[in-house]
Amino acid sequence: MALCRVCKDKGIKKEADVFLKEDKLYLCEQHFNERFEKNVLSTIKKYRMAKKDDKILVALSGGKDSMALWYVLNKLGYNAKGFHIDLGIGEYSKKSKEVVLTLANILKQEVIIIDIKKELGATIPKIANKITRKTCAICGTIKRYYFNYVAHKNRFNIIATGHNFDDEVSTLFGNILQWNFKYLSKKYPVLWEDEFFPRKIKPFALTTEEEIINYVKFNKIPYITCRCPMSENTPTNYIYKEILLELSGKFRGLRKKFYKTYLKDVFPLFNQQKEKYLNKKLTHCKICGEPSLHEICSVCQIKQKLKEN
């Protein structure tokens, strides 16, 4: 391994612990961690995501991204509380909850846990059996509902998720290929709060997957490595990720330039016309009061269907 670039600039000869492909940069563990935390802080400040006294709810799946996010937000001094949903998906959910509780213990923080079986009377696999919709679509609807519900109930003004740069750039690429104007008019590292929803932030929007993998390794952050067994194959996004990684291997900085240009120059053009693309009229669910497109929200409809069954 070559020498750490930062140490070298200071006249110190120290072997690097990591090579970052995206930036073609060799760093030792200490300088990698410092750079990582500095970059996350600068993303938060640049997009005015949060201040130190905001109440942030971090959505924890147990995967590396969300776990690294909770860890780093705490390290940077943000008021960030963890939130996990126990979906009842066998060993996968058991292990996810375990790693979330382990990190809570390391951080000496409490974590809010919602048990779907207790809330809805059935686990995700059982709900999917009874309702004729794709499992991930049902699961996604339920997760989004509880993020907002828990944030409202506990007066969190911000929900933070661990979407990383690789996720963001490949989804953007796919949506540009399909000219999905609705996506282009609202996808940004921050989605501002409105009368229905708290603010949603993605502090890792400019942090690569490669950087997160190294950060969890150097800081011994626990996370699950297994995939959810209910996961439906989504090869398209995977292919876009691979294509972009290959291109950035040939043209240095291409992915970052593509994404940053979208954020700076393209997003504002579409966002100005967002009313045209986002034609959803929201209301409050008659039963639970949460935001809904219909008189009764999707989760209350699921509850009703489960009772009928």
Binding site for ligand SF4 (CB under 6 A): 87, 124, 135-136, 139-140, 228, 230-231
Cα distances (angstroms) measured from residue 164 to each of 11, 40, 145, 292? 34, 11, 22, 28
DSSP symbol at 14? -
Q: How far is the CB of 85 from ligand SF4 (least distance, A)?
A: 9
Contact flags string 235-274 toward Zn ion, x per CB under 5 A: ----------------------------------------
Q: How far is the CB of 61 from ligand SF4 (least distance, A)?
A: 7
285 contacts which partner out of Zn ion, ligand SF4, none, CB within 5 to 8 A by kind? Zn ion
263 contacts which partner out of ligand SF4, Zn ion, none, CB within 5 to 8 A by kind? none
Please provide the size of the chain in residues. 309
285 is an interface residue for Zn ion by CB under 5 A? yes
231 contacts which partner out of ligand SF4, Zn ion, none, CB within 5 to 8 A by kind? ligand SF4
Pick the binder of Zn ion from 111, 169, 297, 302 (CB under 5 A).
Answer: 297
**Phi/psi at 288 (5° precision):** -105, -15
Choice between 103 and 124, CB closer to ligand SF4: 124
Cα atoms in the 13 Å half-sphere on the side-chain side of 175: 17
3-class DSSP assignment, residue 89: coil
Amino acid at 173: F
Q: How far is the CB of 138 from Zn ion (least distance, A)?
A: 15
3-class DSSP assignment, residue 273: coil
Cα distances (angstroms) measured from residue 29 to each of 4, 162, 192? 9, 22, 35
300 contacts which partner out of Zn ion, ligand SF4, none, CB within 5 to 8 A by kind? Zn ion
Q: What is the C-alpha to C-alpha distance for residues 160 and 156, in angstroms, rounded to an integer?
A: 10
3 is an interface residue for Zn ion by CB under 5 A? no
Which token pair is 261?
């240009």
Pick the binder of Zn ion from 4, 100, 158, 201 (CB under 5 A).
Answer: 4
Q: How far is the CB of 92 from ligand SF4 (least distance, A)?
A: 7
Amino acid at 274: K
122 contacts which partner out of Zn ion, ligand SF4, none, CB within 5 to 8 A by kind? none
Choice between 144 and 186, CB closer to ligand SF4: 144
C-alpha 23: how far from its chain's center?
Answer: 23
113 contacts which partner out of Zn ion, ligand SF4, none, CB within 5 to 8 A by kind? none
The residue among 213, 211, 209 whose CA lies nearest residue 242 is: 209
Answer for the pair 302, 140: CB distance below 8 angstroms, yes or no. no
Pairing of strands 283-284, 199-201: unpaired
139 contacts which partner out of ligand SF4, Zn ion, none, CB within 5 to 8 A by kind? ligand SF4
Residues in touch with Zn ion (CB under 5 A): 4, 6-7, 28, 31, 285, 287-288, 297, 300
